[in-house]
């Protein structure tokens, strides 16, 4: 992603390997006497005058516009190809002749040297897929001193492959720092850059993976017709099994297309290879299956493992993704084992001063190994990791509270993680990898700002693509603690404490203490903000800023999680006093969806679903339902089915994650109400992500006929180097971004020369970092949603028992074992036949050991999940009657966790109401 955009900056610079391959070129004329190109010849370079900032260009390690030129500042000791300015050139025509001109100049620091050694190289070449074949061979230039104009001509006779680019790069390591600038860059000739027209395949757009048999089944037809059109559903053998007529919807403003919708919900027969035929077009194939989302539940979590830092990625666990441990201090890594704070001489200090703060550093180093690499870059950001780990924990916690959940699907030995078989649910093992990193990021006692949390750890300068984490040569840097990062740790550590308590009490205790310490530190430092970026002051930050100057929502989230975990009255008071607790539903749950900088929704979702006694909780639960209703209303107006209608139709950076976060809200409303409209809304919105969209593109790697697979990443750079993998199956791409042309994204700038309509503002190109990055906080809601959908089985309405179950406490002990009674009641009329009960299952919100001394009763417990088996003689519950079982609840962390009781029960495996 662009290092110069305020909202989401996570990645950067593609690095090709310059090689002198003049033999691959046909006629090449080099010199200063080539004829000037005529004014009417096509220009292939975007923003060659740098009048539009760095738009269209990439550069590293420190690239910025200075005095109207693109300038690269290269520190002494920079390695070969570790400094470059480049731009994709994807429209060169084989056999065409081009005029290539630019102005360049350079100076060694201090301006006294006569030469810059080594001289920079300039080349126009393809990538690793064509062994870096060159159209214009690698040529040294000596730009030292005054501005020099360079003029060349060349004939393009090479096969440049998928990623050709113009590149000015460092030749060999330099012993002195220097600045290199270019301006008025032009490559003229060949064909006009065509207006980009994507290949969208058949005009019938479907969910390319499949539909649940009893669920909604919708498709969208792109057509010029304004009248209804006939459609047929064909099975794999070509037999028509259903038919109907489409519903015209007019022009969708987010796509600029005239569309119809097709509804074939009534057809429920499972099978594979179905296609829809309409208006002379046949859709991509799809399945109708109750297991359509089962594999995605697992695959959507794989990228968290392959993004792990500080540990080898095992090919035996994730085949095809094995690599050495990154950032463990083994050369060329400087490593995360002993990371210093940002230097007082670093440009990052200037933006601290700009926002009114004093320069900041520290006099110690910290071991901050572990955690997840955030995205396409290899920075580790607490606020982005916070929402990601928070949503994974919510996904697991949902197995305790949601009637439709399949708790075993997220248990031990269900995911591709090396911790399989340790008696801890695998999803908690994955979350622990990030939580452990958070604990390391907390400032230790005895240092200034003790208890606060460093905002991020990242490279001092941007690096290029591809780059294995173990080969990253950049110095790693810790950035000043922030209130936002500290509150993210307070929230997620508190959340983790209650979820880990049944499996690892000592670790739960450690998390809880860290959460309380962080919350107290944040209250003592409530306005320590990460600064907003400023390219004029810090042109090469090396990482995204994740600036956030309103942390009231983070305080609300942290207080809520601490209250849910401990039941402490001080945290309850903070929750109730927060303006977010009484804020309007539309303020907490906006049309745009929540994200890392707007986390009040996370608090509301947990307060609504995790058992607690907060005053006004009913209103909080209703706010989630009201928000879901608004998202369903938004969805109803979208002919492609997405639950997303941002203001002005402007899709955000990472719009697919916004859609997924809205889907989580809708799914939670289903968990609260059992109303089918919410379940169906999640299913319909998933259709959009899996291909029912303007581009006919599944945005999830490995899923569908045409799916995203070239996401912007230093690790998964297959598009640049075929020996490297694409992202793992189940990885979601950022998706359409209405702001792409204002980000400086070079691929977007070169492609969308005439602009783009919202849904068409997307490219599956590794260089398109504003459109096609992957991030942990985008895959986290995909993980939640895929689990929700996999839980729906065939998509039919939830079957429940008429019986009710509940637990009452026989004593209100604040510490020690507590007597309790499990009651199963039958609210039916006494005239109705009795119902037999064999067992009752429930999940404890925090952590107790459950036992019973009642004759004939057996209790089995697996972590938080408890099954009570009733004696045969008392297993029938007649109308108007009840049966009771005496229990003893012994707290795991005596007196530290809330003594809340479960609100969801399963009687003989069937969901039962709490009563």
Complete DSSP assignment for 394-421: HHHHHHHH-TT--GGGGSTT-SS-TTTT
Rg, C-alpha atoms of the chain: 29
Q: Is 657 helix (H, G, I), strand (E, B) or coil?
A: helix
The count of domains in the chain is 3
pTM for this predicted structure: 0.91
Residue ending a domain, among 255, 273, 288, is 288
d(CA 275, CA 232): 8
**Per-residue pLDDT at 1:** 37
* Tokens describing residue 31: 């010199």
Query: Residue 661 domain-assigned?
Result: no
CB-based contacts of 453, cutoff 8 Å, min separation 6: 382, 438, 441, 442, 443, 481, 482, 485, 486, 488, 489, 518
Query: Residue 268 domain-assigned?
Result: yes
Residues 486/451, Cβ–Cβ less than 8 Å:
yes
Q: Are residues 821 and 887 in the same domain?
A: yes
* Tokens describing residue 549: 């100057």
pLDDT category of residue 673 using cuts at 50, 70 and 90: very high
Block residue for tokens 């019973």: 852
Q: What is the mean pLDDT of residues 887-899?
A: 90
Residues 179/257, Cβ–Cβ less than 8 Å:
no
Q: Examine the pLDDT at 591 and tell me if it is beyond 70.
A: yes
pLDDT category of residue 607 using cuts at 50, 70 and 90: very high
Nearest to 889 by CA among 914, 906, 868: 868
Q: Is 303 helix (H, G, I), strand (E, B) or coil?
A: helix
Q: Are residues 242 and 283 in the same domain?
A: yes
**Per-residue pLDDT at 116:** 54
Q: Are residues 213 and 176 in the same domain?
A: no
Q: Are residues 167 and 223 in the same domain?
A: no
Region of 327 (left: φ > 0; alpha: ψ -120 to 50; beta: rest) is left
Q: Examine the pLDDT at 265 and tell me if it is beyond 90.
A: yes
In percent, the amount of the chain with pLDDT more than 90 equals: 77
* Tokens describing residue 175: 């012993």
**Per-residue pLDDT at 7:** 27
**Per-residue pLDDT at 536:** 84
Nearest to 370 by CA among 385, 390, 388, 387: 385
Q: What is the mean pLDDT of residues 247-275?
A: 98
Nearest to 702 by CA among 724, 736, 727: 727
pLDDT category of residue 170 using cuts at 50, 70 and 90: confident
Any idea what the CATH number is for the domain that residue 282 is in? 2.60.40.10
pLDDT category of residue 191 using cuts at 50, 70 and 90: confident
Residues 751/196, Cβ–Cβ less than 8 Å:
yes
**Per-residue pLDDT at 110:** 57
Nearest to 783 by CA among 113, 301, 422: 301
Q: Are residues 183 and 208 in the same domain?
A: no
Pairing of strands 848-851, 818-825: unpaired
Residues 208/124, Cβ–Cβ less than 8 Å:
no
H or E stretch at 573? helix 569-577
Q: Examine the pLDDT at 796 and tell me if it is beyond 80.
A: yes
Any idea what the CATH number is for the domain that residue 115 is in? 2.60.120.260
pLDDT category of residue 16 using cuts at 50, 70 and 90: very low
User: Phi then psi for 748, rounded to 5 degrees?
Assistant: -60, -45
**Per-residue pLDDT at 39:** 60
Q: Are residues 904 and 811 in the same domain?
A: yes
Query: Residue 710 domain-assigned?
Result: no
Any idea what the CATH number is for the domain that residue 874 is in? 2.60.40.290
Q: What is the mean pLDDT of residues 503-509?
A: 97
Q: Are residues 253 and 153 in the same domain?
A: no
Query: Residue 142 domain-assigned?
Result: yes
Q: What is the mean pLDDT of residues 656-680?
A: 98
d(CA 580, CA 583): 5
d(CA 3, CA 11): 7
Q: Are residues 119 and 229 in the same domain?
A: no
Query: Residue 685 domain-assigned?
Result: no
Q: Are residues 85 and 157 in the same domain?
A: yes
Instruction: Report pLDDT digits (tens) over 349-381.
Output: 999 999 999 999 999 999 999 999 999 999 999
pLDDT category of residue 61 using cuts at 50, 70 and 90: confident
**C-alpha of 768 from chain center:** 16
Number of Cβ atoms within 10 Å of the Cβ of 149: 11
Residues 217/211, Cβ–Cβ less than 8 Å:
yes
116-148 core/surface letters (b: 16 or more CB in 10 A; e: else):
beebbbbbbbbbbbbebbbbbbbbebebbeeee
Q: Examine the pLDDT at 22 and tell me if it is beyond 70.
A: no
- 100 vs 171, 242, 254, CA distance in Å? 20, 60, 39
**Per-residue pLDDT at 27:** 30
Region of 738 (left: φ > 0; alpha: ψ -120 to 50; beta: rest) is alpha
**Per-residue pLDDT at 38:** 56
The more confident residue out of 528 and 142 is: 528
**Per-residue pLDDT at 117:** 54
Q: Are residues 184 and 211 in the same domain?
A: no
Query: Residue 395 domain-assigned?
Result: no
Query: Residue 358 domain-assigned?
Result: no
Residues facing residue 806 across a β-bridge: 823
Q: Examine the pLDDT at 66 and tell me if it is beyond 50.
A: yes
- Alpha helices, DSSP H, located in 442-566: 483-500, 505-524, 552-566
Q: Are residues 173 and 279 in the same domain?
A: no
Q: Examine the pLDDT at 331 and tell me if it is beyond 60.
A: yes
Instruction: Report pLDDT digits (tens) over 488-497.
Output: 999 999 999 9
Q: Is 557 exposed, middle or buried (0-12, 13-18, 19+ CB in 10 A)?
A: buried
Q: What is the 3-state composition of the chain as percent helix, strand, coil, each rounded to the nearest 5?
A: 25, 20, 50
Query: Residue 566 domain-assigned?
Result: no
Q: Please tell me what DSSP assigns to residue 790.
A: H
**Per-residue pLDDT at 115:** 53
The more confident residue out of 701 and 830 is: 701
Residue ending a domain, among 288, 304, 330, is 288
Q: Which residues are catalytic?
A: 712, 764, 773
* Tokens describing residue 214: 């009893």
What sign for the dihedral angle of Cα 545, 549, 551, 553? Answer: negative
* Tokens describing residue 860: 């089995």
Question: What range defines the domain where residue 173 resides?
Answer: 58-189
Instruction: Report pLDDT digits (tens) over 107-144.
Output: 887 554 445 556 788 999 998 888 889 999 988 888 87
**Per-residue pLDDT at 5:** 27
* Tokens describing residue 545: 């800023």
Residue ending a domain, among 144, 160, 189, is 189
d(CA 223, CA 225): 5
Instruction: Report pLDDT digits (tens) over 547-578.
Output: 999 999 999 999 999 999 999 999 999 999 99
User: Phi then psi for 69, rounded to 5 degrees?
Assistant: -125, 160
* Tokens describing residue 724: 């490297």
What mean pLDDT, rounded, does the chain reach?
91
Q: What is the mean pLDDT of residues 433-459?
A: 98
Q: Are residues 153 and 258 in the same domain?
A: no
The more confident residue out of 411 and 463 is: 411
Point out the least confidently predicted range of 434-443, 487-496, 799-808: 799-808
Nearest to 11 by CA among 381, 653, 544, 710: 544
């Amino acid at each position: 992603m662009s290092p110069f955009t305020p909202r989401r900056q996570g990645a950067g610079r593609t690095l090709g390997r310059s090689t002198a391959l003049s033999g691959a070129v046909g006629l090449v004329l080099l010199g200063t006497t080539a004829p000037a190109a005529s004014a009417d010849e096509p220009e292939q370079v975007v923003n060659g005058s740098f009048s539009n900032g760095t738009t269209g260009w990439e550069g590293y390690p420190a690239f910025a516009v200075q005095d109207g030129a693109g300038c690269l500042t290269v520190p002494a000791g920079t390695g070969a190809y570790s400094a470059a300015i480049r731009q994709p050139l994807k429209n060169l025509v084989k056999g065409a002749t081009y005029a290539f001109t630019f102005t360049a100049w350079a100076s060694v620091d201090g301006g006294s040297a006569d030469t810059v050694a080594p001289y920079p190289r300039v080349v126009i070449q393809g990538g690793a897929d064509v062994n870096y074949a060159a159209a214009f061979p690698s040529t040294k230039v000596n730009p030292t001193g005054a501005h020099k104009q360079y003029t060349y001509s060349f004939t393009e006779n090479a096969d440049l492959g998928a990623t050709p680019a113009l590149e000015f790069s460092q030749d060999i390591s330099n012993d002195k720092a220097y600045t290199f600038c270019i301006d008025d860059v032009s490559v003229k000739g060949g064909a006009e850059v065509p207006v980009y027209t994507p290949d969208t395949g058949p005009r019938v757009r479907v969910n390319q993976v499949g539909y649940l048999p009893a669920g909604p089944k919708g498709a969208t037809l792109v057509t010029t017709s304004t009248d209804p059109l006939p459609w047929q559903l064909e099975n794999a053998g070509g037999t028509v099994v259903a038919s109907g007529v489409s519903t015209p919807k007019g022009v969708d403003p987010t796509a600029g297309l005239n569309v119809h919708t097709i509804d074939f919900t009534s057809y429920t027969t499972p099978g594979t290879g179905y296609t829809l035929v309409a208006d002379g077009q046949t859709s991509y194939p799809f399945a109708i299956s109750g297991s359509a989302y089962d594999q995605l539940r697992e695959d959507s979590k794989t990228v968290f493992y392959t993004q792990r830092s500080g540990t080898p990625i095992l090919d035996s666990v994730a085949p095809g993704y094995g690599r050495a441990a990154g950032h463990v201090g083994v050369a060329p890594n400087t490593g995360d084992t002993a990371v210093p704070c940002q230097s007082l001489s670093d440009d990052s200090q200037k933006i601290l001063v700009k926002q009114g703060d004093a320069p900041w550093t520290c006099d110690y180093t910290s071991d901050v190994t572990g955690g997840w690499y955030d995205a396409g870059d290899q920075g580790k950001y607490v606020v982005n990791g916070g929402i990601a780990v928070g949503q994974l924990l919510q996904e697991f916690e949902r197995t305790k509270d949601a009637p439709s959940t399949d708790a075993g699907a997220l248990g031990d030995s269900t995911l591709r993680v090396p911790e399989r078989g340790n008696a801890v649910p695998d999803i908690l093992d994955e979350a622990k990898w990030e939580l452990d990193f958070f604990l390391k990021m907390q400032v230790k006692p005895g240092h200034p700002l003790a208890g606060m949390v460093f905002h991020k750890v990242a490279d001092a300068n941007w690096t290029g693509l591809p780059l294995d984490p173990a080969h990253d040569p950049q110095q790693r840097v810790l950035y000043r603690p922030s209130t936002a990062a500290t509150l993210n740790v307070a929230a997620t550590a508190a959340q983790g404490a209650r979820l880990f308590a049944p499996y690892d009490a000592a670790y739960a205790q450690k998390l809880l203490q860290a959460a309380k310490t962080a919350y107290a530190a944040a209250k003592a430092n409530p306005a320590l903000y990460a600064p907003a970026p400023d390219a004029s002051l810090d042109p090469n930050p090396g990482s995204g800023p994740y600036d956030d100057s309103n942390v009231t929502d983070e305080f609300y989230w942290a207080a809520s999680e601490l209250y849910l975990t401990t039941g402490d009255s001080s945290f309850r008071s903070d929750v109730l006093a927060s303006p977010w607790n009484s804020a309007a539903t539309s303020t907490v749950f906006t049309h745009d969806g929540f994200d890392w900088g707007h986390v009040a929704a996370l608090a509301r979702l947990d307060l609504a679903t995790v058992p607690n006694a907060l005053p006004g909780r009913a209103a909080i639960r209703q706010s989630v339902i009201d928000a879901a209703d608004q998202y369903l209303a938004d969805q109803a107006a979208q002919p492609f089915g997405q639950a997303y209608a941002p203001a002005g139709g402007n899709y955000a950076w990472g719009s697919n994650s916004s859609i997924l976060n809205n889907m989580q809200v809708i799914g939670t409303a289903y968990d609260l109400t059992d109303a089918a409209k919410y379940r169906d809304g999640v299913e319909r919105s998933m259709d959009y992500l899996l291909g029912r969209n303007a581009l006919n593109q599944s945005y999830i790697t490995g899923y569908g006929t045409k799916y995203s697979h070239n996401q912007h990443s230093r690790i998964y750079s297959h598009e640049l180097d075929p020996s490297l993998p694409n992202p793992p199956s189940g990885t979601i791409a950022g998706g359409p971004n209405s702001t792409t042309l204002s980000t400086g994204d070079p691929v977007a700038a070169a492609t969308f020369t005439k602009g783009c309509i919202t849904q068409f503002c997307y490219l599956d190109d590794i260089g398109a970092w504003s459109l096609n990055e992957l991030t942990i906080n985008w895959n986290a809601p995909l993980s939640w949603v895929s689990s929700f959908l996999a839980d729906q089985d065939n998509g039919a309405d939830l079957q429940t028992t008429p019986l009710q179950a509940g637990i009452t406490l026989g004593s209100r002990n604040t510490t020690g074992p507590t007597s309790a009674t499990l009651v199963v009641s039958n609210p039916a009329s006494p005239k109705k036949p009795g119902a037999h009960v064999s067992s009752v299952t429930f999940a404890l919100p925090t952590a107790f050991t459950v036992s019973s001394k009642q004759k004939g009763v057996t209790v089995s417990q697996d972590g938080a999940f408890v099954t009570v088996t009733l004696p045969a003689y008392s297993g029938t519950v007649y109308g108007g009657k009840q049966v009771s079982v005496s229990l003893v609840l012994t707290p795991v962390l005596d007196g530290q966790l809330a003594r809340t009781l479960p609100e969801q029960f399963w009687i003989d495996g069937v969901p039962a109401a709490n009563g």
